[in-house]
Amino acid sequence: MRYLLLALSVMLVGCVSTRSIPQTGIDFQLDRCPPFLNCVSSESIIPLYQVAPVKLVAPLRRESWQAIQQTVLAQPGASLTQARFGYLRVTWHSALFRFPDFVELLVTDDSNSLAVRSQSLFGLFDFGVNRARIERLREELIARGLAVR
């Protein structure tokens, strides 16, 4: 019984954020999504999990990065987990049950867009919440003049 509970816990939690994040710099890629329907990522090669990267108005600079961070953290339920220039990890809590989801943003090599990843910590299916979150964030960044369609 104990092993069944352990296996079920691993299945429900899965892998929720990029595993191999270096302590400094931005020379890495966000992980793709696990085989559950609780994640979207611009790094995914599977259409079911794909979401477009956020295209920036101009190459990323410190001032625009600060504005992006402020925009992300102003969203309801968002709290900062980790940040440095070019990489942001945010924990999002749902309004009703306070379920945690993890969102990551990483500037791409050309500094003209942000790779994005959003995954629910619990459950095998997210009812489209992660995709909707990334699209709302994209629209907010567009409205603030930081991103384009």
CA-angle at 144, arms to 143 and 146, nearest 5°: 105
Q: CA–CA separation, 130 vs 143, rounded Å?
A: 20
- Reading the chain (149 residues) residue by residue, the pLDDT tens digits are 655 444 444 444 444 556 567 776 788 899 889 999 999 999 999 999 999 999 999 999 999 999 999 999 999 999 999 999 999 999 999 888 889 999 999 999 999 999 999 999 988 999 999 999 999 999 999 999 999 99
Cβ–Cβ under 8 Å, residues 31 and 41: yes
In the chain, where are the structural domains located?
2-15+30-148
Helix 129-143 vs helix 62-73: angle between axes, to the nearest 10 degrees? 130
Using DSSP, state whether 79 is helix, strand or coil: strand
In CATH, the architecture of 2-15+30-148 is 2-Layer Sandwich (3.30)
